[in-house]
Chain A
Amino acid sequence: MIKIENLHASINGKEILKGLNLTVNAGEVHAIMGPNGAGKSTLASVLAGREDYEITAGNVSFLDKDLLELSTEDRAREGLFLAFQYPVEIPGVSNVNFLRTALNEKRAYHGQDPISAKDFMALVREKSALVEIDPKLASRSVNEGFSGGEKKRNEIFQMAMLNPKLAVLDETDSGLDIDALRIVSQGVNALKSPENASIVITHYQRLLDYIIPDMVHVLYDGRIVKSGPKELALELEERGYDWIKESL
């Protein structure tokens, strides 16, 4: 699905990613954990194509394409989805209008006809039920006046609508209460299939009680320094990150 090799990225001349390697195959869920400032959100931003970051070395191949050569929108159209840590409020742009545009641009990219209004509304109903989001929310302005939990559910709703190959969830659990966490996780789990994959970036282990990862990686100082099965997350929860820093 995605293969990241020796990725170096910097912002304003400061190197954040310092030779990151990661391979995720179809059907897998990978969790990336790490202390604050390790580069977790930078990784998410770089994968989505945020132009503030400069890639100084490395390769990323996504579905056999050179990801770093693609524009942000083409990455999305190829099937990459970033669930934002801080979803942006866009007053005046309705969720539905924006999603129909997004969906149709993706379809056009793949040589498909635009979705009919009827099929689109059926899809909205089906996917909004999945994340227990009020369909009325879908017709409101993108994230405007949404609570923290509603914003994150809206991210998962968009993900369900766009049906990505690879979803990168950037601290989707931050700011969520237990109920919202359960709903968001259910949404992510329901979308899991042998054809797609997820990278779940999180600071806390508790999200991984709901989304069971195939692999857990520790990101520290711009590199993956330890990888292991799901039990590694529990160990991190119990022991913190210091023992890993000391073992380096």
Chain B
Amino acid sequence: METGTLNKLSLFVEDLNETALAPNALKDAAHEFLAGQDFPTTRSERFKYTRLAKLANAAFSAAQSVNEVQIAQSKILIDAYTIVINHDNIQIPKNLPSGIEVSLIAETQIPFNEAAFYDIFGALNILHASLGISIHIRQNITLDKPLQILQINSGGKTFYRHHFSFEKNSEVAVYFISKNTEGHSSFAHTHFQYNIAKDARVKIFKIQDTNVGHFDFNEDRAKQAERSHFEINTITLSGSFVRNDIQVEINGEQAQSYLNGAYWLKEEQHVANYTTIDHRVANCESFETYKGVATDKATAVFNGKVFVRKDAQKTNAYQSNANVLLSENASINSKPELEIYADDVKCSHGSTTGQLDENALFYLRARGLSEAAAKNLLLQAFMEDVLAYVKNEEVLAYVHKRIAARFNWNY
């Protein structure tokens, strides 16, 4: 128990119970990490561009369950194995094929990978997570349909944990969709753990589509074995407060990692993408492309780190972040970082932020396109290389529909 004056952190956790999910040693480490801490300020490196005052002052409404109609409306993929997560209500489909096992995280014994905490929320997750799923794909299994995980937030403060284990030579696409219901203020911190065995081919698509009142924190931690292919695409269609922190550890040779992100922000939305790719062994490749558009007073943050360790010779690492600002009050803080300790590697990184090309706009208008139509075409083209990773027609149609609804841009 805290003594003395209550700081923002202790007020935030006041109504949270400690859970029995994580191993005791990890919980002890979390307590140690949190001792004497408060909410991070903009003086701290990882929250330099993210103000937490709104979160500290927010009053969260009691968690409410959504009904079946709302669930049905929130699905994006029709032909998929769908798991629904809404507070204490987790629905797991009964028709799963053999080779895939899905269970509640509380009912399974899965080792936790965490070795370190990067911010207070990660440590809080260890102490307070109670809900989540564990998904196990057996070796040589190729799932015939994608897996759709629908996480609907409707009030309350929730820490989730989802653990994935992809055995060797398995293949699967996972669509993780986060939404919230309007009129409820909510907080979700979701920790994703991916163990990717050798030769496994895994594609994760995050479709983030939340609204005012929801604080969405995501921590993704992946470990890749040799010759595995891991792709994670984070598509932020809407979100008043979204943080994504993805870390990929490459532990086996000839592995490939793809990290992509796309974000469309307006009003006072804030989206921060932090990524770390840790090349620990030789002969691996990583490709990272994040692109975004911001208008009104929206703010976006990109911080991408690529580590190439001493033994990671013949690494090929490519990283880029590009942004288009459509208003004077929108802002992007972009920080690509490379740390290379091996001497025989190919690495590149780049970051651009600017307005749409005036010459291209004039060219299109000189052919009879209105200014709006010309901008629409140019923005569509700008995002194309990231959206090209989304091959699923239903998901693409949803992305286009939402962009049209929010920005009146028709793709």
Would you call A90 and B368 a contact (CB within 8 A)?
no
Give the residues in chain B near A109, CB-CB below 8 Å.
Answer: 368
Chain A: minimal CB distance from B363 (Å):
4
Interface residues of A in 27-84 (CB under 8 A from B): 48-51, 71-73, 75-77, 82, 84
Cα distance, A82 to B370, chains bound together (Å): 16
Would you call B384 and A90 a contact (CB within 8 A)?
no
B340 within 8 A of A: no
| Binary per-residue interface labels of chain A (87-119) against chain B in the complex, 1 for a CB within 8 Å, 0 otherwise | 110111100011101110110010000000000
Would you call B359 and A91 a contact (CB within 8 A)?
no
Would you call B369 and A73 a contact (CB within 8 A)?
yes
Would you call A93 and B378 a contact (CB within 8 A)?
yes
Query: Which one, A87, A88, A101, contacts B369 given CB within 8 A?
Result: A101
Assuming the contacts A87-B363, A88-B363, A101-B373, asked whether A93 and B380 have C-beta atoms less than 8 A apart, the reply is: yes
Would you call B367 and A162 a contact (CB within 8 A)?
yes
Would you call B380 and A158 a contact (CB within 8 A)?
no
Residue of B nearest to A161 (CB): B367
Assuming the contacts A73-B368, A105-B368, A106-B368, asked whether A90 and B380 have C-beta atoms less than 8 A apart, the reply is: no
Residue of A nearest to B383 (CB): A92
**Could you tell me the dominant secondary structure of chain B's interface residues?**
helix
Would you call B363 and A77 a contact (CB within 8 A)?
no
Assuming the contacts A88-B359, A88-B360, asked whether A98 and B385 have C-beta atoms less than 8 A apart, the reply is: no
Would you call B366 and A72 a contact (CB within 8 A)?
yes
Assuming the contacts A88-B360, A90-B360, A101-B373, asked whether A49 and B380 have C-beta atoms less than 8 A apart, the reply is: no
Give the residues in chain A near B223, CB-CB below 8 Å.
Answer: none
Give the residues in chain B near A76, CB-CB below 8 Å.
Answer: 365-368
Assuming the contacts A50-B362, A72-B362, A101-B373, asked whether A158 and B367 have C-beta atoms less than 8 A apart, the reply is: yes
Query: Which one, A48, A99, A105, contacts B366 given CB within 8 A?
Result: A48
Number of A-B contacts (CB under 8 A): 74
Would you call B366 and A90 a contact (CB within 8 A)?
no
Cα distance, A142 to B359, chains bound together (Å): 13
Give the residues in chain B near A72, CB-CB below 8 Å.
Answer: 362, 365-366
| Binary per-residue interface labels of chain A (108-132) against chain B in the complex, 1 for a CB within 8 Å, 0 otherwise | 0100000000000000000000000
Assuming the contacts A48-B366, A49-B366, asked whether A73 and B359 have C-beta atoms less than 8 A apart, the reply is: no
Give the residues in chain B near A103, CB-CB below 8 Å.
Answer: 368
Give the residues in chain A near B366, CB-CB below 8 Å.
Answer: 48-49, 72-73, 75-76, 82, 84
B32 within 8 A of A: no
Chain B: minimal CB distance from A88 (Å):
4
Query: Which one, A48, A73, A97, contacts B377 given CB within 8 A?
Result: A97
| Binary per-residue interface labels of chain B (367-399) against chain A in the complex, 1 for a CB within 8 Å, 0 otherwise | 111110100011011101100000000000000
Query: Which one, B371, B381, B382, B385, contacts A73 given CB within 8 A?
Result: B371
User: Chain B: residues with CB nearer than 8 A to chain A?
Assistant: 357, 359-360, 362-371, 373, 377-378, 380-382, 384-385
Write 16 A-B pairs (CB below 8 A) sorted by A numbering: A71-B365, A73-B366, A76-B365, A87-B363, A90-B357, A97-B377, A98-B364, A98-B369, A101-B373, A101-B377, A102-B368, A102-B369, A103-B368, A105-B369, A109-B368, A141-B381
Other than the given A73-B368, A90-B381, A102-B368, 19 more pairs (CB < 8 A) read A48-B366, A49-B365, A71-B365, A72-B366, A73-B365, A88-B360, A90-B357, A90-B360, A90-B364, A92-B384, A92-B385, A93-B377, A93-B380, A98-B377, A101-B377, A102-B367, A102-B369, A103-B368, A141-B381
